[in-house]
Amino acid sequence: MDAGPEGADRVRYEARDGVAVLTVASPPVNALVQPVRAALLDAVTRAQDDPEAQAILIRADGRTFPTGADVREFSATFGAPTLADLCLHIEACPKPVIAAIHGAALGGGLELALACHYRLAHEDARLGFPEVTLGVVPNAGGTQRLPRLVGAKVALDMLTTGKPLDAERAHAAGLIDKVVERNLERAGFGTARNFGHDGTPPRPTRDVTRGTRDARGYLEVIAARRRHADKQGEAVPRLVDLVEAALLVPFETGLDMEHAAYEDLVNSDTSRGLRHAFLAERRAARVPALAGVDPLPVHAVGVIGAGPLARDVAMAALASGVPVTVALEDDPAISRVRTRIERSLGAAVEAGRLSGRARDTRLSRLKVSQDLRALGDADVIIDALPEDAVRKAHVLLQVGGIAKPGAVIASSTADCDLETLVQSAARRDRFAAMHFIAPADRNRLVEIAPVRGTAPAATATLIRLARAMGKMPIVAEPRAGLVFNRLVTAYYSAAALTLERGASPQAVDRAMRDLGMPLGPFEAQDVAGLDAVWGLRAEECPSAIPVRMLENAWYGRRSGQGFYVYEGEDRVATGEVSRELDQMLRGLRAEAGVSATGMKPEEIRKRCLLALANEGAKLVEAGVVARPSDVDVVMLQGLGFPRAAGGPMRLADREGPLAVRAALRAWAEENDFWTPAPLWDRLVSTGRRFEDMNLR
């Protein structure tokens, strides 16, 4: 029986043996949207008034306990009842309310559980507050109830990092009352029935003092966290204040403070950018053309290559839990692959990122061979050779005859001609590009580009494998450069043009680091190597700088000189530009008739960001990406673009298409590189923005 007309398929009500069982049934994740909140409130009220019910059990169908509100609701006015209202109603219930938690109780879902009087969790459950990753704080009492149970340290660890606790750690911290190994529903019902029969009273979390009993220690934790809070974003200092309030002010006052902090933060540009990034990544996971398509089973993975990329791809595949074979013929480097993987996994163990048992398990699944026939049992074979079309085609020709029927062959390439490669592999329906971005051990981005004739199941298989490897896959059309390389080329080209207009490499790098980039564009090129960055596309740059640097063998850190000078055997960065590079830049400026020296940081950032947005507009217009926000995901995951900014397409929306087009047109007088993509004209004429195109 349901909880009312609005909650007909949202919350089921069942009373038996003195227990009112309230089951949230709102797939896929039982999000606490307004209809669910209303139905749950009605169900709790009904149980409260039901003379046959002595206790209440709140549980959920499907894969998880209720999760928080939809992120898209954050900026809207929450419909009644709010989650805070629901939590207060549950906490005030005169009958004991037990939460049975499975899956993930995150954000609002954990706030719901905290409002219950007792909490049981399945051993596989995870509990956490990810709100800080969206630039906000909890808004239904989480910052006030959590510290009362677990104290300041655990509360701040959870709230300021967004990292969840597993059930065992949550139990040890006092967040839950019992860990259930098997049948959670049976354990939850039995607990509720016993509580009802025994007359166990409610235990409102607001009245618990276990976590605040040691006031001095509590305040010492607050003081220590406050010293570093301002460096961790806008939400963290507010969280420290709110956890302090849980000790010092009445519960209702703490709730008011929490709500005020939420309202301040949710309307900040930082939170809007973080929410855009979150939604963009979630949106990128949806590929309409693959709806209803089942991936093929993957029981073994093969990797072709012997260099750093092959090593990193192999380690990611091992982490996905399948046996991996790395093979390459006629290359002595293949004999060193196992040693390098062992060394990398050993370093992960020493750093505490991996257990010794996990390392040993992964190594037991690794095979390295100098015979390509060792790849014959693989369900997916990934070519991780360098970007050399002739060599790739030669090896894929051999692999195509070795691979078992139905195996998917993928090539990690963005620049080689895919038609040539697919003809070599000789299995069009089972071939696609799967471009890993270096350094692939740390970079999460993977571009997947099916060719004409690739079976949907093959594409779906590569997407699922990429996710199992801990990667963020983006599906793109098979065009030269795919998405990442084209964006990076535009970004580095814009940066080079700023040098020709009078900026220094130091000023450009500093301006982009101040935005939040991990490295400036010239620092990044020196680290990667200018031969690797520009070797295949230096002629595409509108500035002569890359060509001239390659001609002089100024490759970056590896050669001792790039945009900066590096000293000693360890190639220590000096942060100084060489006299030769300075003379070259002066000459280029003189040729262009530029006498200016210097450029304001705001101008540098604007040029670099609008170059990215303009290239993104071209990618959208050409159908290389499905939506503008995919461009943002590529920059976020591939180049470390600051999440708080959301991405270049979001920043262009904030600037406005009309203003962007005007700036590009003005700069196009200097260089045709800045010519606005035609999409800007359509956006201006229709009054639309990129965000409107993301909704399709």
Which class is 294-482 in CATH? alpha beta
At 601-625, the pLDDT tens digits run 999 999 999 999 999 999 999 999 9
pLDDT of amino acid 250: 98
DSSP, collapsed to helix, strand or coil, labels residue 491 as: helix
pLDDT of amino acid 4: 42
Question: Vertex 611, ends 607 and 615: CA angle to 5°?
Answer: 170
At 559-602, the pLDDT tens digits run 999 999 999 888 888 999 999 999 999 999 998 888 877 899 99
Q: How far is C-alpha 247 from the chain's CA centre?
A: 34
For 462-465, which contacts have Cβ atoms below 8 Å and span 24 or more sequence positions? 462/380, 462/408, 462/410, 462/432, 462/434, 463/287, 463/290, 463/295, 464/295, 464/298, 465/295, 465/298, 465/301, 465/317, 465/320, 465/380
Q: What is the mean pLDDT of the chain?
A: 95
- Measured CA to CA in angstroms, residue 376 lies from 380, 472, 542 at distances of 10, 28, 46
pLDDT of amino acid 231: 87
Of 8-22, 240-254, 315-329, 362-376, minimum mean pLDDT range: 8-22
Residues 267, 383: Cα–Cα separation, whole Å: 46
At 360-401, the pLDDT tens digits run 999 999 999 999 999 999 999 999 999 999 999 999 999 999
Residues 696, 681: Cα–Cα separation, whole Å: 20
Average pLDDT over residues 215-239: 95
Which class is 5-266 in CATH? alpha beta
Short-list 674, 620, 673, CA closest to 647? 620
Is pLDDT above 70 for 311? Answer: yes
For 669-678, which contacts have Cβ atoms below 8 Å and span 24 or more sequence positions? 670/497, 670/501, 671/497, 671/542, 672/542, 673/493, 673/494, 673/497, 673/542, 673/611, 674/611, 674/614, 676/614, 676/617, 677/614, 677/617, 677/618, 677/621, 678/621
At 231-274, the pLDDT tens digits run 898 999 999 999 999 999 999 999 999 999 999 999 999 999 99
pLDDT of amino acid 77: 63
Residues 432, 295: Cα–Cα separation, whole Å: 14
Contact call for residues 269 and 292 (beta carbons, < 8 A): no
Alpha carbon distance, N-terminus to C-terminus of the chain: 37
At 696, the pLDDT band (50, 70, 90 cuts) reads low
pLDDT of amino acid 333: 92
- Domain range annotation of the chain: 5-266, 294-482, 485-694
Q: How far is C-alpha 12 from the chain's CA centre?
A: 34
Q: What is the per-residue DSSP string for 442-459?
A: T--EEEEEE-TT--HHHH
Residues 18, 200: Cα–Cα separation, whole Å: 13
Question: Pick the catalytic residue: 91, 131, 281, 500?
Answer: 131
Which class is 485-694 in CATH? mainly alpha
Among all chains, which residue has been given the structure tokens 């935005």?
A: 515
Average pLDDT over residues 650-673: 98
Enumerate the β-bridge partners of residue 303: 326, 382
At 5, the pLDDT band (50, 70, 90 cuts) reads very low
Catalytic annotation present for 52: no
Is pLDDT above 80 for 97? Answer: yes
Q: Report which of residues 69 and 141 the model is more confident about.
A: 141
Catalytic annotation present for 342: no
Contact call for residues 151 and 220 (beta carbons, < 8 A): no
- Helices (H), strands (E): how many in the chain? 28, 19
Average pLDDT over residues 534-549: 93
Is pLDDT above 80 for 156? Answer: yes
Question: Pick the catalytic residue: 111, 244, 387, 523?
Answer: 111
Is pLDDT above 90 for 9? Answer: no
Average pLDDT over residues 454-474: 97
76, two tokens = 């809207």
At 200, the pLDDT band (50, 70, 90 cuts) reads very high
pLDDT of amino acid 593: 87
pLDDT of amino acid 11: 96
Residues 630, 652: Cα–Cα separation, whole Å: 14
Residues 183, 120: Cα–Cα separation, whole Å: 11
